[in-house]
Structure 1
Amino acid sequence: MSEAGKPRLCRVSGRDTWHIYHQRKRISTGCTDRASAELILARYAAELSRPTTRAVSVSEILSLYLNDRREALKPGAERLSWAHKPVAAWFGEKPPEAVTDRECRAYAQKRMETGIAPSTARTEMQALRAALRWAAAQKIITECPNVPLPSRSPPKERWLTRDEAHALIGGCEAFHIRLFVILALGTGARVSALLELPWSRVDMERRIIDLRDPGKARTAKGRARVPINDGLLATLQEAHAVRETGWVIEWAGDRVASVKRGFRAATIRAGLEGVTPHTLRHTAATWMAQAGVPLWEIAGFLGHSNTAMVEETYAHHSPGHLKGASSSGYDPSATVPG
């Protein structure tokens, strides 16, 4: 702002109070002494220099945040793309000020009333919170509203016994579904990691599968390099011999985008209930814990950077779980010291 355009103090003829003169307007300070008027002038000038923010809706913030993550190739964009849709539909063109604790709790409650799991509602609220924090950091909004999150869902306990796993594999009519099931049980990998796995990251000579995608940034939900056991090796060799594309999981000469329908049909044929593709990852980790594999090794196999989640979910399956603590308790058969 040029010196000529800056606000300044002036006095109006016939009046004792000081005024602020700015842009051909006079604004009374209400002060008769110059020192007090100078303080008011300073506050007025500070307000003029404060950056202004344009009106923006919650829906627009979510879209801007999603685009930013996609353009910067940041992790989480795919999950955010589905998580932000119901949130945008709920808040619509409302301003960020409409994101209150009460409104967030009402949203989560409504979502769960429609059959959505608490964990899904939590993920959607996390997407909203991340978008608002990003908007505040980018000066798109002046303040970031608080976004309370629904409680976490308890860890899923459903896992397959060996007999159930054999029944599931037997229920797979399509070869690519059978391959997916055997891969998931043998690697403990997430569904997305297997559907995105190319043959170039499968080394059958060294018997290693590299689930890490070099084109994607590393996230807390990491991926690992896992060994290929004997049963998995035979299945991979069979699949590699008849491959038509560069993808491990393929069908009709194309990459498979989803196994939900074929997997669901296989569970029905096998007579299994409460089983989803993610159950296979849970099953692989449970089997390892039951076999006495150290939790830190299970964490590494699953791609986790620490054992906290593994300990919470799988420690009780370990044959040695709490045995040390139990051995220090009262044993009626022990000799009582004299």
Structure 2
Amino acid sequence: MPDISIGRLRGGYCVFWTGADGKRSRHQLKARTRAEAEAEAIDVYRLKHFAQAQTGATVAELWDEYRRDLGDKPTAKTMGYTGKAVLTHFGHYRPDQITTELCRTYARARMAAGISQGAVHTELGHLRSTMTWAERNRMIEAAPHIERPAKPTPKERFIRKDEVARLIDHAEAPHIALAIHLLFATAGRVSAVLQLTWDRVDMERGVINLRLDDARTRKGRAIVPINRGLLAALQTARDAALSDHVVEWGGKPVASIRKGFEAAVKRAGLEDVTLHTIRHSAAVAMVSNGIPITQVAQYLGHSNTTITYSTYGRFAPDHLADAAEVLDFTQLRVVK
């Protein structure tokens, strides 16, 4: 398809292009906005040349239907944020109008605006998931190819146990300190820790159940033992509890600890530490101290140990040690 351009004509929009024969074509559009015109222009061109104009749901309509289908799953909430950018660019298009160049234009524009490559990868990933869902539910004939920028290599940042202790010491509020302690000692996700209630903390048996009865989350949660340090912190918190939630503030559950956590990181003099760094650091600590991958996987709530091994196997003390010995040619030297 040649380059098609949008222009103004008689108070509205038009599409024009130059054919292979050098002849310029121009056609009035019904669209009332620039975004609508860009989508309609593709149909006009196809109709004039290939009789391929189609009708059907727009990306925006399918996006909304997919979010409704997700219900109260976390992805539905996240798509409420990513959709602000994705739908501005793709919303007026139908799936059959999405091209690789349209995806690349979006990625370039977002990164030029200062959005990270990882965030753009996620945004276009939500678009891809929407299209796949629509095809699976027979709402569209075929999902278009959604090209995404490469996913950035994850940072290898992890912190030591003494740095975790520094974080806890520099937390201004008790609930922030307790949350950090729970995050490291359980290797749980932030959402699991903030949703934890006292009825799932068995201090007599020394067990914490991070799982939800309704299993709303896709990612696994674990049932983990309580170590001595965490037990002492939980006993103190339980004596002062004003609600059913373990992490609380003023007798109410806490929706986010991000600001308090970031303030503690700054006061502790640490850099490049996020909330997820704590879970990552817990896994690294277990593996590097010789805990078997199968046990680490259970702690992390991974149903597939392959994922755990591919992410953390290299931190094991004897990782590839046997292979290294095989490659030691110095043992073949003859001492005279």
TM-score normalised according to structure 2 size: 0.78
CA–CA distance in 2 between the matches of 1:113 and 1:313?
Answer: 31
Higher relative contact order (CA 8 A, sep 6+): 1
Cα deviation digits, residues 261-306 of structure 1 (max 9, x gap): 1001101110111111111001101111110111222111101111
1:131 partner amino acid? T
Contact 1:54/1:140, CA 8 A, preserved across alignment:
no
Alignment of 1:110-259 (within 5 A): 110-217=109-216, 219=218, 221-259=219-257
CA–CA distance in 2 between the matches of 1:55 and 1:333?
Answer: 71
Contact 1:172/1:266, CA 8 A, preserved across alignment:
yes
1:321 maps to which residue?
319
The SS at the match of 2:310 is: helix
Deviation at 1:312, TM superposition (A): 2.7
Alignment of 1:1-338 (within 5 A): 55-70=56-71, 76-217=75-216, 219=218, 221-333=219-331, 336=334
The SS at the match of 1:142 is: coil
Deviation at 1:240, TM superposition (A): 1.0
2:296 partner amino acid? I
Instruction: Assess, with a 3 A threshold, how the Cα gap between structure 1 residues 335 and 244 changes in structure 2: closer, same or farther.
Output: same
The SS at the match of 2:208 is: strand
The SS at the match of 2:330 is: coil
Deviation at 1:68, TM superposition (A): 1.5
CA–CA distance in 1 between the matches of 2:73 and 2:196?
Answer: 20
The SS at the match of 1:116 is: coil
Cα deviation digits, residues 54-90 of structure 1 (max 9, x gap): 63221121111101121xx667333333333321222
Between structure 1 and structure 2, the one with the greater Rg is: 1
CA–CA distance in 1 between the matches of 2:207 and 2:123?
Answer: 36
The SS at the match of 2:286 is: helix
Instruction: Assess, with a 3 A threshold, how the Cα gap between structure 1 residues 74 and 170 changes in structure 2: closer, same or farther.
Output: closer
CA–CA distance in 1 between the matches of 2:335 and 2:163?
Answer: 50
Deviation at 1:334, TM superposition (A): 5.5
Instruction: Assess, with a 3 A threshold, how the Cα gap between structure 1 residues 118 and 300 changes in structure 2: closer, same or farther.
Output: farther
Deviation at 1:211, TM superposition (A): 1.0
Report which stretch shifted further, 106-115 or 316-325: 106-115
Deviation at 1:337, TM superposition (A): 10
1:10 maps to which residue?
none
After TM superposition, the runs of 4+ consecutive aligned structure 1 residues lying more than 6 A away are: none
CA–CA distance in 2 between the matches of 1:137 and 1:168?
Answer: 46
2:151 partner amino acid? R
Cα deviation digits, residues 19-59 of structure 1 (max 9, x gap): xxxxxxxxxxxxxxxxxxxxxxxxxxxxxxxxxx9632211
CA–CA distance in 2 between the matches of 1:88 and 1:144?
Answer: 17
Contact 1:263/1:277, CA 8 A, preserved across alignment:
yes
Contact 2:73/2:217, CA 8 A, preserved across alignment:
no
Contact 1:75/1:216, CA 8 A, preserved across alignment:
no
Deviation at 1:158, TM superposition (A): 0.7
CA RMSD of aligned residues (A): 2.2
2:19 maps to which residue?
none
CA–CA distance in 2 between the matches of 1:102 and 1:262?
Answer: 42
Indicate the percent of aligned positions where both proteins have the same amino acid: 41
Return 5+ residue gaps in structure 1 as ranges.
Answer: 1-52
CA–CA distance in 1 between the matches of 2:111 and 2:70?
Answer: 28
